[in-house]
Amino acid sequence: MDKKKKRLIMRSVILAILLMAVGYTLYTNLTKEARGSLQKGDSAPDFVLTDLSGEEHQLSDYKGKGVFLNFWGTWCAPCKEEMPHMETVSKEYKDKGVEVLAVNVGDSELQTKKFAEQYGLTFPIALDTSKEVENAYGVTNLPATFMINSEGKIEDIVVGGLTKEEQVRALFEKVKP
C-alpha cells in the first residue's frame, strides 16, 4: 500500500472517531436536558397529579408553603425505611407550613394503596403513571427527595434513603416558611 492511501485511511479513521465523539456528546447533553437536570436554586417544575383519594395536587397550589417532594416505589427498600420518618415529621410540621407530597412511580394504584395502609401514611400520595413528572425532575434513582421552598425554588435534592428521623426533620426545617 502506498503512503497516500495509508494517510487517507488514517485520516478517515481519525475523522470517524471525532464524529462519534461529537455525536455522543450531543446525545448525552440533549437527553440530559430532556430528562431534566435540576439543581439547587432552580424553579421546581409545576405539575398536576392525582392522589389515592382522587384529589388533584398541583405544585403551584403549594406556593407559600415548603414542600417535601418525594419520589418512591413500593419495591424500594430505602423508601420503606424512610416512610415512617416522613409520616412522623409531616404531622409535626403540617401546622408549620411544610407539606409532604409523595409521588409513586411505577406501581399500580392497588399496590400503592396497600403500601400506604400497611405503613399508616396520611400525607398525599400521587401516582405518576406516565412518568412525566419523574422525567421532568430527572429522577433516575429512588428514593429521590426535592425540598421546595415557599417561593417554588429547590432548596435541596437528596438521592437515596433518609435513614434517620433527624435527617427528615432537618430537611423540613430548610423549607419552613
What is the model's pLDDT at position 98?
A: 97
What is the model's pLDDT at position 19?
A: 86
Which letter does DSSP use for residue 41 in this model?
T
The CB density around residue 45, as the number of other CB atoms within 10 Å, is: 17
Which letter does DSSP use for residue 46 in this model?
P
The whole-angstrom separation of Cα 127 and Cα 106 is 8
CATH number belonging to domain 48-175: 3.40.30.10
What is the model's pLDDT at position 4?
A: 86
The whole-angstrom separation of Cα 113 and Cα 120 is 10
Q: What are the per-10-residue average pLDDT scores of the chain (177 residues)?
A: 85 88 70 62 96 96 97 96 97 95 95 96 96 93 96 96 95 96
What is the model's pLDDT at position 37?
A: 77
The whole-angstrom distance between residue 89's C-alpha and the CA centroid of its chain comes to: 20
Cis status, amide bond into 78, omega within 30 of 0: no
Q: Confirm whether pTM is higher than 0.85.
A: no
What is the per-residue burial (b if ≥16 Cβ within 10 Å, else e) of 125-156? bbbbeeeebbbbbbbeebbbbbbbbbebebbe
For the chain, give every domain's residue range: 1-35, 48-175
CB neighbour class for 105 (10 Å; exposed up to 12, middle 13-18, buried from 19): buried
What is the model's pLDDT at position 111?
A: 96
What is the model's pLDDT at position 33?
A: 43
